[in-house]
Amino acid sequence: MIRRSFFTFVSTVLGALATLGAERPIAAAAAAPIWTPPYFPILTRGEYDYDAMMRTLPTAGPHKQVFLSNPSLLTAPGVAGIFQKMALAMTCYEFALERGERLTLAMAGVLIAEPVVFALNDAMWQKYRIAATFSLPDRTGRIGTRNFTRKAWSDLNLDASPNSPAGIYHDFTSEGLQKRGAGFLVCHNALAGVSAKFALASGASHSAVLKEWTANLLPGFVAVPSGALAIQIAQERGYALYPVTD
């Protein structure tokens, strides 16, 4: 009797443990969050302006430099770090090496990481509160609603002195750089990554926000499949790479 009761007890315990073991993975699986991979749609040849990308990286001329942004945004209130470094590099090359005639440096900037927001127009800055989100003050120290890195500070006069603080050679805006011949390529992967944060905050579809950002780049800013691709093409076309550092 006792032996039969013992076996009955053991059978009951083992059955309970087997049931518990079978239920645990199901409960754990039900509690596990669903992982969603980051959304980085790849642009194929017909989905971006390939010819514009190549025009931004001309091969004429022996002196060519391409700048790659880093995650840092401003070096001072209202001053985009990559634009400042591009402008100063171009100015030094033109004037510090002058030998009877001014040298010309072909230059392109490739925007990756957070600095892709410098490629967006005022409508996007206002709608998505970009300056407030990243705490980006303009030159007056105010957090506004426009892309303050765009509009030229100077009168864009190329005859200005290179040492004039008010002249084009100390104009660290994208408009000033474009006046001097610089071009800009914008990493679509970075647009996807940065826009995802704004989509999450706004509750909008990420694909919709990414599409809107890509359609609202500043004039002369060209979306490319990736910044790495742009850098590779630039180097194949004879550009020296300058990765921006703080």
What are 50's two structure tokens? 């390939």
Same domain, residue pair 27 and 85: no
Residue 241 β-bridge partners: 66
Q: Around 140, how many Cα atoms within 13 Å sit in the side-chain half-sphere?
A: 5
Same domain, residue pair 51 and 26: no
CA distance 178 to 221: 10
Per residue in 211-220, pLDDT (tens digit) is 999 999 999 9
**Predicted local confidence at residue 5, as pLDDT:** 46
**Predicted local confidence at residue 61, as pLDDT:** 85
pTM: 0.83
CA distance 83 to 172: 5
Eight-state DSSP code of residue 60 = -
Same domain, residue pair 150 and 174: yes
**Residue 67 pLDDT > 70:** yes
Same domain, residue pair 140 and 214: yes
CA distance 242 to 30: 49
Whole-number Cα distances in Å, 169 to 68, 225, 242:
20, 31, 19
**Residue 21 pLDDT > 70:** no
* 169 φ, ψ (degrees, to nearest 5): -80, -10
**Residue 13 pLDDT > 80:** no
**Predicted local confidence at residue 97, as pLDDT:** 83
Considering its fold, how many domains does the chain have in total?
2
CA distance 74 to 81: 5
Same domain, residue pair 52 and 112: yes
Residue predicted with more confidence, 131 or 102 = 131
- For range 42-47, the mean pLDDT: 91
Q: Is the residue at 40 inside a domain?
A: no
Q: Is the residue at 106 inside a domain?
A: yes
CA distance 16 to 25: 15
Mean pLDDT for all residues in the chain: 87
**What percent of the chain lies above the pLDDT cut of 90?**
73
Same domain, residue pair 65 and 144: yes
Same domain, residue pair 19 and 56: no
**Residue 134 pLDDT > 70:** yes
**Residue 22 pLDDT > 70:** no
Per residue in 162-212, pLDDT (tens digit) is 999 999 999 999 999 999 999 999 999 999 999 999 998 888 999 999 999
- For range 147-165, the mean pLDDT: 96
| Extended strands (E) in the chain | 64-68, 74-76, 79-80, 106-111, 183-187, 221-224, 240-243
Range of weakest confidence among 13-27, 79-93, 125-139: 13-27
Do the Cβ atoms of 177 and 214 come closer than 8 Å? no
**Predicted local confidence at residue 24, as pLDDT:** 47
Range of the domain at 152: 45-243
Q: Is the residue at 144 inside a domain?
A: yes
Q: Is the residue at 137 inside a domain?
A: yes
**Predicted local confidence at residue 73, as pLDDT:** 95
Confidence of residue 102 (pLDDT cuts 50, 70, 90): confident
